[in-house]
Structure 1
Amino acid sequence: MQQQLVAAQEELARTEVTGSAGGGLVTVTMTGSGDVTAVTIAPAAVDPDDLETLQDLVVAALHDAKRAADELAASTMGPLAGGLGGPGGGLGLPGL
């Protein structure tokens, strides 16, 4: 079981998910383990007179990518956690 958990964690670290905001004006790519690997901002999103909107788009894209990473983690780790017993499969992971 331990080896399966380690393999699943390694898979999460290798797998990338993407979140976006503003119809794709801002995209964030992160690993399934939550490490941000790229942020892309379309030139159309950059308005020097309205940086607050750009900041909001970056935050929204980060949240979207985090949601995707959480879903990936749940689908990858969830089946393994079920056999461990206790809340969260005994891993101390809420929701698993």
Structure 2
Amino acid sequence: MDVINISMDGVLARKNGKKDCYYEWTVGFCQVKVGKCSMEVKGLDELFQDYFKKGMTAEEIDGSEMIRDVRKQNFIPEDIEDLYEEALKKEYKRYFESRKK
């Protein structure tokens, strides 16, 4: 069996003198309730920020477009795509309402 030595500096990054996972600073995960399950969706906050900057309301967003955008960073099974679409639109509506105040 071969042993591979990997420097932790290659896995972890330093910020303010602390070590932490690098990817957590670049792309966040959001918990979304899809059907009866809580799912982690990568990059959702960034996507919602983009929609909001474009002035898109929850009613204007096409669910299939949102699924396509989320799939760029996440796996979404085709057989529950409708549940994801419903959950994502609901989350964006909540996001939009909280930002427009």
TM-score, length-scaled by structure 2: 0.36
Q: Which has the higher contact order (CA 8 A, sep 6+)?
A: 1
- Give TM-score, length-normalised by structure 1: 0.38
